[in-house]
Amino acid sequence: MSWQPNTNSADVSQLSTEEQQIVELVARWVDHEVRPVVSQLEHTNTYPEALIEQMKQMGVFGLAIPEPYGHSAVSARCYAQVTEEISRGWMSLAGAFGGHSVVSKLLLRFGTDEQKRRYLPRLATGELRATMALTEPDGGSDLQAMRTVAAAVGDGYVINGSKTWITNARMSGLVALLCKTDPSAEPRHRGVSILLVEQGSAGFSVSRDLPKLGYKGVESCELNFDDCRVPADALLGGAERHGFVQMMAGLETGRIQVAGRAIGVARAAFDDALRYAQDRHTFGKPIWQHQSVGNLLADMATQITAAQQLNYHAADCVDSGRRADMEAGMAKLFCSEMAAKVTLDAIRIHGGHGYSTEFDVERYYRDAPLMIVGEGTNEVLRNVIVKQAIGRNGLT
């Protein structure tokens, strides 16, 4: 079982009994089903179909969907802890339901009654999987500069443009597409809408899988929209020009999830480093007793604990209905930077073995950078945080 900071038991006790059982179930599944097979799957870049099916059976894809559409909706804090546990086993598996959960939240909060009835029950079981499409080849985190345009034609829209770095693009049957329905709007974000594009729509194609440093197993692809036609009822909420605000609200959940991924990867790296530091002996004693190694381990444990508390705070803001864009941004920023440092320190503790693909710490090190650049780069998030800090204090 994974190492846990002493404060974690108090955090778990804040969950309902059912939520505690969910987290414990996922943790056992990770130890018994994921960790024994992850190395082979990751190094061969194999899609983890069997593990995804098990996640469906456990209700992971419905964690953000309440009744009457689903049966296993949980608090944001529980969702963050489930993400941690899955990422402790393999971060790619958390990616398999990250965007899916954001789309589920978008439908719950902004979807029409008909859109909710059409999609949410199947999203809850994982029968239908979803992803979001924001990033463009030339835009990166500058979402307002997007070039994908949807023109109103007849009783629907015709979409032209492209997206890139879209996780689960091949396996998802539904794409929440951020696009411009009013390219001339000022300010630019007021011309943005979200269209729900189903796989198989005429003019919509998934092109190449992008090669990646880490984040193996799940696909990240380019999407092309060439006179792609969708009906008018594909517009999220039935009203144009609200897409930017809608997606920013959805990204609160997304950033808490990415922060949870970072914590899970860091926990796995610490577990391995702590075990290795007890087993490995030099100069007549276990290496953790050497001050340089012991200091690394102490800092790693402290940073992981701080990251957990920051992410749980952001989750608690969401659960209480408070605005959480700054808090979720802080959590994602701190947790991702923490994971990059902790995974590198785990390699240092392993020495030469840490550079070998026979040890898992090299995988953690390759996976960690995704959380720095994904779901909004940390450079952009710093801008979000400082603007919110000034705005909330009544300054201009």
**Is 129 in contact with 171 (CB distance < 8 Å)?**
yes
Distance of CA 257 to the CA centre of its chain: 4
Which residue in 340, 215, 348 sits closest to 273, CA to CA? Answer: 348
DSSP 8-state secondary structure symbol assigned to residue 370? H
Which residue in 333, 361, 370 sits closest to 267, CA to CA? Answer: 361
Quote the CA–CA distance of 225 and 247 in Å, as a whole number: 20
Considering the candidates 84, 127, 375, 379, report the single residue annotated as catalytic. 375
Residue 311: CB atoms within 10 A of its CB come to 31
**Is 215 in contact with 375 (CB distance < 8 Å)?**
no
H or E stretch covering 149: strand 149-153
Residue 226: CB atoms within 10 A of its CB come to 13
Helix axis angle, 113-125 relative to 91-110, nearest 10°? 160
Q: Which residue has the tokens 């609160």?
A: 252
375 catalytically annotated: yes
What is the number of helices (H) and of strands (E) in the chain? 12, 9
Quote the CA–CA distance of 338 and 304 in Å, as a whole number: 7
Catalytic residues: 375
